[in-house]
Amino acid sequence: MRGTVAVLVGAGALALTGCAAASEDDVRVVVTAFEDPGGTPEERCELLAPATRAALESEAASACADAITDVPLPGGAVTAVEVWGGDAQVRIGRDVVFLTETGSGWRVTAAACEPRGELPYDCELEGP
């Protein structure tokens, strides 16, 4: 499942300093768990946003736990975290991961993403 993700960050999307630090920590924890090589497919699926999970299962015509094993998740060290409003972007190892804040906490909306200059990111996994 390969697609594109466009990210717009404007001046109006800046978070308050205290909230941003807490959000950044929460986002970092979710992405680190999602990309953890020791994590199970079921654990990774629980960290997906509902629409992303549904898109993955639909595209693969199989359960999330089976389909997620085909997504390259290299793991590594988190090198950058950006949070704006209810959205976030994390650079971890060679990967870029996008998240959204839900009623259940931060969830992954796109992963295995590569930048393409001025074009939207090219992602192996993403929701609608």
Instruction: Give per-10-residue mean pLDDT for the chain (128 aa).
Output: 46 41 88 95 98 97 97 93 96 96 96 94 93
Beta-carbon contacts of 37 under 8 Å, excluding residues fewer than 6 positions away, are: 73, 75
Inside any domain, residue 27: yes
Which pLDDT belongs to residue 10?
A: 35
Which pLDDT belongs to residue 23?
A: 85
Unique residue bearing structure tokens 């015509």? 61
Inside any domain, residue 8: no
Instruction: Choose among 123, 99, 124: nearest CA to 48.
Output: 99
Which pLDDT belongs to residue 15?
A: 38
Burial of 80 (0-12, 13-18, 19+ CB in 10 A): exposed
pTM, entire model: 0.83
Which pLDDT belongs to residue 128?
A: 83
Which pLDDT belongs to residue 62?
A: 97
CATH code of residue 121? 3.10.450
Which pLDDT belongs to residue 4?
A: 52
Which pLDDT belongs to residue 17?
A: 42
Tell me how many domains the chain contains: 1
Inside any domain, residue 3: no
Inside any domain, residue 6: no
